[in-house]
Structure 1
Amino acid sequence: METLSKKDCRKNNTNKVFRVVILLLIISFTTRSFGQEKPENKIVLPIEVKAAFEKRYPDVKASWTREYRGYNNNQLRYEAKFRGSQGNDLAVFDNLGNLKAFESSIALSNLPKKATNYLKKAHLLKKVTEAVKVTDMDIQSDSDIDLNVKSMITYEVGVVKENLFYDLVFTDKGDFIRMVQKD
């Protein structure tokens, strides 16, 4: 049986220490890089957007996202989600700080009577998960729309039917427009 000399033992221990130090450095570097915020997730708001939001909603903290919308997805929009008086609200701004749309959570009792009647007849009233009032200031020219109109109000009611989520869209008077399946 072969015995190790003191020199061989020290060399063996040095190799183990070296391996442990390398392993700790790798773990430290990996943990540190995962903990850092990714630059692509951080949204830098244009000054105009930030000023417009703060003017309309002073002292409100919002969670921001950035989306491309419109024909060919060529219109950049900044969306601010925040807690409103009746629930979650959403304000949509263009890159110049113009408010393009506003969604506000509402109680079912605030829906137009025609919309409530439609939901009752379709047996969907008990399946409602949310209701929002949408004010759209980004009216596109269309033959069905009066070009003198500055904004359009619609109501969206979220329902779950057969384990699928749908938005039912109603006019400001409560007339049914369409049902859209959501993810």
Structure 2
Amino acid sequence: MKKLFLALTILYGASMIGQTEVKSDKEVVPPVAVTIAFQKEFTGKVPTWTKDYEGEDSDHIRYLAKFNTGTSVGLAVYDNNGMLKAYELAIARTELPKAALSYIQKNYPGQTIREAARLIDGNNVITYEVGIVKDRKFLDLVFDKKGGFLEVTEKD
């Protein structure tokens, strides 16, 4: 009887261990509506999905699809219902508006552009983000479609 009890305890314990599989935060499966919306917008692209939270109480889920566009890296941001909230495409420095480059040369002389991206929000408004490092701080400079300066934000 003791051997039977011991065997059952071991089997039960082993089955419980098998059911406590922990998925990595990187393994995100978005809702079907999000997947369908992505495939309609970016046919044939294979994304790597992640998610984060936004809103005043961090209670709104956003799904982020990072994918290779062939010449660059794209990032599409969707809400829980499959609505495209933003699309970011890494671009070369030469693709920035001339007014933005002039602003950077004048206000941040000697600073190297670390990254540049074109953003299109859910309302089809185009902006540009330019990343530079000044005084050991990473700064995102934001410009409008024509290269007019909008704001600067410090990133971690």
TM-score under structure 1 normalisation? 0.68
After TM superposition, give the deviation of residue 176 of structure 1 in Å: 1.0
The aligned residue for residue 38 of structure 1 is: 22
> Percent of aligned positions with the same letter in both sequences?
40
After TM superposition, give the deviation of residue 84 of structure 1 in Å: 2.1
Larger proportion of strand = 2
* CA spacing shift, 1:71–1:165, aligned 2, 3 Å: same
CA contact (8 A) 1:108 1:131 kept: yes
For residue 114 of structure 1, give the secondary structure of its aligned residue in structure 2: helix
* CA spacing shift, 1:83–1:115, aligned 2, 3 Å: same
Q: Which amino acid aligns with 1:73?
A: S
- Structure with higher Rg: it is 1
Q: 1:166 aligns with which of 119, 136, 139?
A: 139
CA contact (8 A) 1:89 1:105 kept: yes
The aligned residue for residue 80 of structure 1 is: 65
Structure 1 unaligned blocks of 5 or more: 1-28, 138-149
Q: 1:179 aligns with which of 143, 152, 156?
A: 152
Structure 2 unaligned blocks of 5 or more: 1-13
> What is the root-mean-square deviation in Å for CA atoms of aligned residues?
2.3
CA contact (8 A) 1:119 1:125 kept: no
Q: State how far apart, in whole Å, the 2-side matches of 1:176 and 1:101 are.
A: 20
* CA spacing shift, 1:158–1:169, aligned 2, 3 Å: same
Q: Does 1:62 align with 2:35?
A: no
Moved over 4 A (4+): none
Deviates further, 101-110 or 65-74: 65-74
After TM superposition, give the deviation of residue 71 of structure 1 in Å: 3.2
